[in-house]
A and B are shown apart, each in its own frame.
Chain A
Amino acid sequence: MSQAIERARTYLKPHKKLPTVWCAGCGLGIIMGSLTRVMSGMGLEKNKTATISGIGCTGRLPTYIDTNTLHTTHGRALGFATGVKLANPELTVVTAMGDGDAVAIGGNHFIHACRRNIDITAIVANNCIYGMTGGQYSPTTPHGKRGTTAPYGNVEYEFDIVSLAAGAGATFVARTSVYHVRELDKILERAIRHPGFSVVEVVSNCYTSYGRLNKFSGPVDMFKWMKESAVTVKQAADMSPEQLKGKFIRGVHVERDQPEFIEVYDKLAEELTTDSSVVNQNLRATIESYQRLGNRLKARIE
């Protein structure tokens, strides 16, 4: 066990000083711990891995991970990740986003990334709040819960990230929580190995900004809530909507085969270029269309 921990530790940047920027009791350290265990367990080559994030508390996660790391603008991690992966498909690309980052400001990129099926793993740390800015309600803050911008309770209804990802066409969709750490490790590994776009929603806790406003007595209280509110996909299958109220369903929700974007693109390109007549035809057609016009002009000026 301790050897595994030591190995995982090597996936933290040696010259980046700990502790992290995160508050005591925050769930993000658990997610980062899981990610380093999975990366080391899989033996991911650090130089061939890119960890990419947007803005917010979760956005700080790559700063500590000893791979190539990219901390981008708010909501845009998947746009950057798309470019990184397309330019160098041999890289393993993992993005880490919070709920506001992934499905509010980055919602458009999120659904289109799900639809495209590029081989990127998207971790969404869902703590139901904008933590770094001090507790404003997010698209996953449950109806009625409080945020600093929902002082009387949230009027809006929340996104179900799993349904959103599945509906948008993601080929691997799972949910677990920072309480269910062993499951988190297993799911993260499966998601990274999945050849296509994978979404892992990790229900997390922000005591500082969410817990205090919503009558949790401390981080431990929030972990208890996670323990008690989680039902497995299997259990949920036999439960009525009434019974499922206030629960979240953990486990793998979607896992299906669909050709990956770059694979399809490159195959098409290969077909086009193996048949040199197609390349020639296409390039020649372009050149000739310009030349035809040019020749007409040349005839006139000569």
Chain B
Amino acid sequence: MSGNNERSIWVMQGNEACSVGAVAAGVDFFAGYPITPSSEIAEFMARHLPLIGGRFIQMEDEIGSIAAIIGASLAGARSMTATSGPGFSLMQENLGLACLAEIPCVIVNVQRAGPSTGLPTQPAQGDVMQTRWGTHGDHAIIALAPATVLECIELTARCVSLSEEFRTPVVLLMDEVIGHMRESVEVPAPGSYKVHSRPHPRDEQEDYQPFCGGLSGIPPMAHFGGPHRFHVTGLTHDERGFPTMVPEEVDRKIRGIVGKIEDRADDLAMNEETMTDDCEVLLFAYGSSARVAKASLRVLRERGLKAGLLRVKTIWPFSGKRLRELAPQLRSIIVPEMNLGQLVTEVERAVAGVVPVRHFGRVDGHLFEPDQITDFVLEEIAS
């Protein structure tokens, strides 16, 4: 090592790192309800927010928690909640309101094995599709998945930034392994993450229209208590925010909340690639599964197999661009997930039959072991 004493290395847990990232990105309001394996985030916020001028509240359930963070955001706060599967299920209805009413907020889901109460202390990646489609009706969502403790800081800050920039709820999809794992992180210098603020209307602007984004734009957002007063509703609404049933207005609204995110899917894509230059077999993974996939690469290469890894940090909106670029050189894509096949369906859609895609799922409440992935890949290639 360089022995540079200036470097400040800390060891912390993924959940703590997520909290650090939130505070670093200016989150000043947190509402939550205790649930394993995410409670450390609420505990951190309860302890630190009053010391730095923010406010924390423990609500009566997860429905109240997400309601409170949406309300706080409308009143100008940068707000966040954290939960796990059962709580995330309870949040779905209000998540939809935040999508439709275009209210920024961050929801952290430290995934545990489900369905139902499932295995509260064990990891899974079973909420990928719930994140995308859990609330009713057409909408789009942004979701990021960290694979390291440092990324818990970085991507939480990024979630805050994206929620503000796009006026939309953003989900940080962690899992129990990432949340409870302790790792060394080199502490980022203050201000090292650029965090966007929501677009504001000018104070003196007359006839402020809070929902005038059209088919792909992000309208400026005033806040309750500021110079503009406005109406917000979970009913489908026009540019002013009033309920409408005019087909053209309804159509524009729904296409608008989808378009403002899906139209930018390629720009929002954050990937990490390992040995993809010459790879013939591509492992496609995210979160803790991607850590194991990375470990199996070395063995696969030793066995003479040209394997590479595409790890996505942006789960939603899904961008198939990089997959399509790599497809011509690939013999096979293998997707290890701690579920029975969720994001793999998007991979299949992206390559559209050009390359065979195989899913490798584990749903017994445990993370993959490197040998498992190695053996699966070798068997697949042999067959």
Q: Mark A39-74, 1 if CB is under 8 A from B, else 0.
A: 000000011101010000000001100111111110
Q: Which of A1-46 touch B at CB < 8 Å?
A: 13, 15-16, 46
Asked if B280 is an interface residue, CB under 8 A from chain A, the answer is: no
Would A73 and B97 be within 8 Å (CB), given that A86-B72, A290-B10, A294-B10 are in contact? yes
Asked if B1 is an interface residue, CB under 8 A from chain A, the answer is: yes
A87 touches B55 (CB 8 A): yes
Neighbour of A63 across the interface among B48, B73, B231, CB < 8 A: B231
Contacts of A68 in B (CB 8 A): 224-225, 229-231
B51 touches A269 (CB 8 A): yes
Contacts of A290 in B (CB 8 A): 10-12, 16
A112 to chain B, nearest CB (A): 4
Asked if B227 is an interface residue, CB under 8 A from chain A, the answer is: yes
Contacts of A84 in B (CB 8 A): 71-72, 74-75, 224
- The interface stretch among A125-133, A159-167, A231-239, A278-286 is A278-286
Contacts of B75 in A (CB 8 A): 50, 83-85, 87-88, 91
Asked if B59 is an interface residue, CB under 8 A from chain A, the answer is: yes
A297 touches B74 (CB 8 A): no
B64 touches A269 (CB 8 A): no
What interface size band does chain A fall in?
A: 35 or more
Residue of A nearest to B232 (CB): A70
Q: How far is the CA of A283 from the CA of B23 in the complex (A)?
A: 12
Q: Mark A249-262, 1 if CB is under 8 A from B, else 0.
A: 00000000000001
A283 touches B67 (CB 8 A): no
Q: How far is the CA of A279 from the CA of B60 in the complex (A)?
A: 28
Asked if B283 is an interface residue, CB under 8 A from chain A, the answer is: no
Contacts of A47 in B (CB 8 A): 225-229
Q: Which of B187-239 touch A at CB < 8 Å?
A: 223-235
Contacts of B229 in A (CB 8 A): 46-47, 66-69
Residue of B nearest to A82 (CB): B68
A302 touches B10 (CB 8 A): no
Q: How far is the CA of A262 from the CA of B61 in the complex (A)?
A: 20
Contacts of B228 in A (CB 8 A): 47
Asked if A108 is an interface residue, CB under 8 A from chain B, the answer is: yes
Most buried by B among A84, A85, A108, A265: A84
Asked if A272 is an interface residue, CB under 8 A from chain B, the answer is: yes
A/B pair count, beta carbons within 8 Å? 178
B242 touches A63 (CB 8 A): yes
A79 touches B63 (CB 8 A): yes
Contacts of A80 in B (CB 8 A): 67-68, 70-71, 74
Neighbour of B72 across the interface among A76, A87, A269, A293, CB < 8 A: A87
Asked if B50 is an interface residue, CB under 8 A from chain A, the answer is: yes
A73 to chain B, nearest CB (A): 5
A109 touches B60 (CB 8 A): yes
Contacts of A67 in B (CB 8 A): 229
Asked if B57 is an interface residue, CB under 8 A from chain A, the answer is: yes
Asked if B125 is an interface residue, CB under 8 A from chain A, the answer is: no
Would A279 and B51 be within 8 Å (CB), given that A68-B225, A73-B93, A88-B224 are in contact? yes
Would A83 and B79 be within 8 Å (CB), given that A70-B74, A108-B60 are in contact? yes
Asked if B284 is an interface residue, CB under 8 A from chain A, the answer is: no
Contacts of A52 in B (CB 8 A): 71
B232 touches A83 (CB 8 A): no
Asked if B130 is an interface residue, CB under 8 A from chain A, the answer is: no
Residue of A nearest to B66 (CB): A79
A50 to chain B, nearest CB (A): 5
Asked if A155 is an interface residue, CB under 8 A from chain B, the answer is: no
A82 touches B64 (CB 8 A): yes
Asked if A291 is an interface residue, CB under 8 A from chain B, the answer is: yes
Q: How far is the CA of A71 from the CA of B237 in the complex (A)?
A: 11
Residue of B nearest to A109 (CB): B64
Neighbour of A87 across the interface among B79, B93, B242, B243, CB < 8 A: B79
Asked if A273 is an interface residue, CB under 8 A from chain B, the answer is: yes
Q: Mark A117-129, 1 if CB is under 8 A from B, else 0.
A: 0000000000000
Contacts of B235 in A (CB 8 A): 71
Asked if A268 is an interface residue, CB under 8 A from chain B, the answer is: yes
Contacts of B226 in A (CB 8 A): 47
Contacts of B31 in A (CB 8 A): 82-83
Contacts of A262 in B (CB 8 A): 55
Would A83 and B76 be within 8 Å (CB), given that A68-B225, A68-B230 are in contact? no
Q: Mark A82-113, 1 if CB is under 8 A from B, else 0.
A: 11111110110000000000000000110010
A275 to chain B, nearest CB (A): 11
Asked if B340 is an interface residue, CB under 8 A from chain A, the answer is: no
A76 touches B8 (CB 8 A): no
Most buried by B among A16, A71, A79, A265: A79
Q: How far is the CA of A283 from the CA of B73 in the complex (A)?
A: 26
Asked if A81 is an interface residue, CB under 8 A from chain B, the answer is: yes
Residues of A within 8 A of B (CB): 13, 15-16, 46-48, 50, 52, 62-63, 66-73, 76, 78-88, 90-91, 108-109, 112, 262, 265, 268-269, 272-273, 279, 282-283, 286-287, 290-291, 293-298, 301-302
| Known A71-B232, A272-B51; 12 more pairs at CB < 8 Å | A47-B226, A63-B233, A69-B230, A79-B68, A79-B94, A82-B71, A83-B29, A83-B67, A91-B225, A109-B64, A293-B12, A298-B9
22 contacts between A and B (CB under 8 A): A13-B231, A50-B75, A68-B225, A70-B71, A70-B74, A70-B231, A72-B97, A73-B97, A76-B67, A81-B71, A82-B57, A83-B72, A83-B79, A84-B71, A86-B57, A87-B72, A108-B64, A262-B55, A282-B51, A286-B48, A294-B8, A295-B9
Residues of B within 8 A of A (CB): 1, 3, 8-12, 16, 29, 31, 47-48, 50-51, 53, 55, 57, 59-61, 63-77, 79, 93-94, 97, 182, 184, 223-235, 240, 242-243
Please list the 5 inter-chain residue pairs (A to B) with the smallest Cβ-Cβ separation, ordered nearest first: A83-B71, A79-B67, A293-B11, A83-B68, A290-B10
